[in-house]
Amino acid sequence: MAVGVLALQGSFNEHIAALKRLGVKGVEVRKPEQLQNVSSLIIPGGESTTMAKLAELHNLFPALREFVQMGKPVWGTCAGLIFLANKATGQKTGGQELIGGLDCTVHRNFFGSQIQSFETELPIPQIVAKEGGPSSFRAVFIRAPAILDVGPDVEVLADIHVSAIETINSNPSIQKEEDSAESGKKVIVAVKQGNLLATAFHPELTADTRWHSYFLKMAPESADGTSAIVSSSTTDQSSGGRPTIDFPIYH
């Protein structure tokens, strides 16, 4: 079965292109019944309030929650991370509806506004252990959220020293974190809990497909014991080879 990509708004085309580079079919999901035809789901980055309103309009929230509760793999990037969180702070007046399931608290727009977006080399030891390749990942943060705390069953895959990002030090939320002795000047930006994966950044905007490959391997095994989704990457990450690119993305 194909991988679904929630296609209400945001970077769903970029995720579908990344899946294609791995030899996997990604399909756009806009209606509840379309979830029946996919084995896993990616919730892309975008404008979380707009996405929530569109999801409510199409009556998607009950079906999305059921999909998560069934144990099918779901990956939320940026706005998708906010959707999966059990609790979100820093929201607009009135808040927004969440899917939930991920035992964490997310701060919306933690790193500041659009002009405070940034890129950084992010250490990813757990991903390297599974996927190989360089020890860090070029993470693209666009008006990004951050995870402030996690429950005991949540595995932290990546965190970031907020004081190291010079372009965002003027944000009051970050300054508050830096002044806190408990924060250690770090916030969490990637986690995994059971069937749920979440990243505050945008792997789909880079040529590095290791996060997508990692997610595909979260799919349940089929009856014959083989992986339900087989990755056939055109990129040799270990040797530094370059993939065949058919979509404008960052290198």
Q: Give catalytic residue positions.
A: 78, 202, 204
d(CA 251, CA 249): 7
Place of tokens 């069937």: 195
d(CA 145, CA 122): 16
Return the HEC string of 34-91: HHHHEEEEEECCCCHHHHHHHHHHCCCHHHHHHHHHCCCCEEEECHHHHHHEEEEECC
H or E, element range at 147: strand 146-150
Identify whether the C-beta of residue 78 lies closer than 8 Å to the C-beta of residue 201. Answer: yes
d(CA 8, CA 12): 8
Residue 163 CB contacts under 8 Å (≥ 6 apart), including other chains: 169, 178, 185
Q: Is 95 left (phi over 0), alpha (psi -120 to 50) or beta?
A: left
d(CA 115, CA 223): 49
